[in-house]
Structure formats: C-alpha cells, structure tokens
C-alpha cells in the first residue's frame, strides 16, 4: 500500500468552478499535512498546511482534514486557468521537522 | 527575503563522472532536506540535516550518494560514478527546524541532472 495516494488525473474543471483534490495516507499517526502546487518545470510551492481535523481556509483555497478516515483534500474555489498545475499532497509522520512523504500528485487543468 | 537557492540549475554529465550539487537554504533555517523527482514519479526523500545532529541518510539510494553541510548552512550533494538512472531533478528544501514546533518546508528551484 502506497503511503500517500492521489489520483493522477488529469482533473479538468471549467473556469470559475470548484476543483476538489483528494489525498489518502496510510500512517494513522501522521501529524502534519501539506499541499504544494508544482507548475511544469518548476519546483513545488507551498499552498496550504493543516494539522487539525476540520477545514482551514486561505483565500480561494480550503484544506480539509479527516484523521479518522485518513483523508485530506484541497478545494479551489473560482478556479482560474493559472491554477492549472500538479498538486502534491505531503504528509509528515511527526509534528516537527522530519522528511515529508509525498504523493505523486494530481494534475489539474482549468479550462477557460 | 531570499529563498532557497540551488546551483547549477542544469547539469549534463557523462556516465561514470562525479557531480556536485549545491544548496543554500533560507537564512536562519536549521533543517535542510534533499529530495529527487524522477520523470513521472513523486518526490523521493534522500537525506536530511538538522542543526549539528548526525544527518538522516536513510533515503540515499546507494553508497554513490553522499552529502555534507558545512557550517550549518550550505549543503553539497555528491553523486559518484553517475548512472543513467540518476537522471532526475534534485530538490533542496529548508525549514526553520525549531524542535517541538510545527515545521514547514520551502523548496529551491532544483537542479536538473542528465546523465548521458
């Protein structure tokens, strides 16, 4: 079983719609959860992090965490063509500074 | 402020040669990580430095790979006798690394290594 799983996509949504990206993880003791955006040919850029169950909102982005279901998601409201990228889910087994375990990413395409 | 910097941005080498990749973390960050990303693959952890502690080398794929961090700042990843399967983007990340506190990693632009 892969440690962090994401649907590879591509996920296509029309401009202005809500894009929903999902991630599951296998280590029930995981503490910290991150979403990175990666444009083609570029390095990952941190978008959101979440540590507690529930929702966390930042502008057009909402991260949702359900530790009981071992599930974390990212919602992008009012999707724009500039949101088209690969979104990487990353999990930290600890609360402190230790290496992240990454999913392979979901490719999002926002159609104008 | 300045982010994580890496050099070179691109490196083409011949099979069997040694290469050195450099990472300069965000000023004040005590934790430094090396990952690599192969085409179509996720990010793979290689090695991690935290302050003056012994590095976590558990992700290094073979003994041809080594890394050091001088003065708690700049790090160099060395790959000896490169093989074609070493071709990948090598990414460095740093984080504040304050023990017992939540931590967030920030990535540099990466070095694209091509082994011919």
DSSP designation for B28: T
Instruction: Inspect the interface and report whether the beta carbons of B99 and A96 lie closer than 8 Å.
Output: yes
Average pLDDT of every residue of chain A: 93
Beta carbons of A76 and A64 less than 8 angstroms apart: no
Tokens of B57: 């080398």
Radius of gyration of chain A (CA): 13
DSSP string, B51-110: TTSPPB-TT-SSTTEEEEESTTS-EEEEE-S--GGG-EEEEEEEE---TTS----EE---
For chains A and B, count residue pairs whose Cβ atoms are closer than 8 Å: 66
The total number of residues shown for chain A amounts to 112
Mutation target vs B (from A31, A97, A107; most B CBs, 10 A cutoff):
A97
Note the pLDDT tens digit of each residue in B45-66: 999 998 888 899 999 999 999 9
At A60-69, the pLDDT tens digits run 999 999 999 9
């Amino acid at each position: 079983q892969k440690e962090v799983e994401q649907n590879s996509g591509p996920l296509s949504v029309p401009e202005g719609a809500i894009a929903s990206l999902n991630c599951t993880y296998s280590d029930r003791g995981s503490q910290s959860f991150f979403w990175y955006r990666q444009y083609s040919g570029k390095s990952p850029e941190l978008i959101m992090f979440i540590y507690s169950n529930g929702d966390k909102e930042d502008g057009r982005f909402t991260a949702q965490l359900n530790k009981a279901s071992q599930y974390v998601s990212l919602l992008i409201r009012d999707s724009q063509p500039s949101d088209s990228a690969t979104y990487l889910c990353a999990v930290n087994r600890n609360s402190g500074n230790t290496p992240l375990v990454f999913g392979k990413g979901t490719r999002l395409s926002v159609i104008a | 402020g300045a982010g994580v910097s890496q050099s070179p941005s691109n490196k083409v080498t011949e099979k069997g040669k040694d290469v050195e990749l450099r990472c300069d973390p965000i000023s004040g960050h005590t934790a430094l990580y090396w990952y690599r990303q192969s085409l179509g693959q996720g990010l793979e952890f290689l090695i991690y430095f935290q302050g003056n502690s012994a590095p976590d080398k558990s992700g290094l794929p073979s003994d041809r790979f080594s890394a050091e961090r001088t003065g708690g700042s700049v790090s160099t990843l060395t790959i000896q006798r490169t093989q074609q399967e070493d071709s990948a983007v090598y990414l460095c990340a740093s984080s504040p690394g304050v023990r017992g506190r939540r931590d967030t990693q920030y990535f540099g632009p990466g070095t694209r290594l091509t082994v011919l």
